[in-house]
Amino acid sequence: MNMKNYETVFILNPVLSEDQMKDTVAKFKKILTDSKSKIINEESWGLRKLAYPIQHKSTGFYHLLEFEAAPDTINKLEIEFKRDEAVMRFLTVALDKHAIVYNARRKNGEFNKPKAKAKEEQAA
């Protein structure tokens, strides 16, 4: 089976409780693990303001999943996103080799250095 790397960001309804939000995320992770996908990274970005209102809401819970999966798994995952009323928006993208390297560097904190510290390292 040909596995590819993907990244999905989805926005959950802000009226969900913390437990409901965690359960919803767990449901999508289970869809991936049940289909033999490997979750590489997961990030909860918390409650964020939306660029424009969605379903009359101005905020939403953002969540990112980076995973390795067979292409047919994406269809199953996206059908579940569409069926779940808690999901306001989602976007899944296939990652090329450059995006995979970038994500690995970002997870290692290479881009989070304070500017002063980065300048010191350049001077050294």
The CATH number of the domain holding residue 115 is 3.30.70.60
Q: What is the pLDDT of residue 100?
A: 86
pLDDT of 118 > 70? The answer is no
Q: Is the pTM of this model over 0.95?
A: no
| Domain membership of residue 80 as a residue range | 4-123
pLDDT category, 2, cuts 50, 70, 90? confident
Q: Which of 68, 69, 47, 71 is nearest to 59 (CA)?
A: 47
d(CA 38, CA 52) in angstroms, rounded, equals: 33
Task: Give the total number of structural domains in the chain.
Answer: 1
Distance CA 119, CA 124 (A): 9
Measured between alpha carbons, how far is 50 from 59 in angstroms, rounded to an integer?
5
Q: In the predicted model, is pLDDT for residue 27 greater than 90? A: yes
Angle at 30 between CA 19 and CA 108, to 5 degrees: 85
Q: With 80 as the cut, is the pLDDT of residue 37 above it?
A: yes
Please give the structure tokens belonging to residue 10: 């989805």
**Contact of 94 with 70, CB cutoff 8 Å:** no
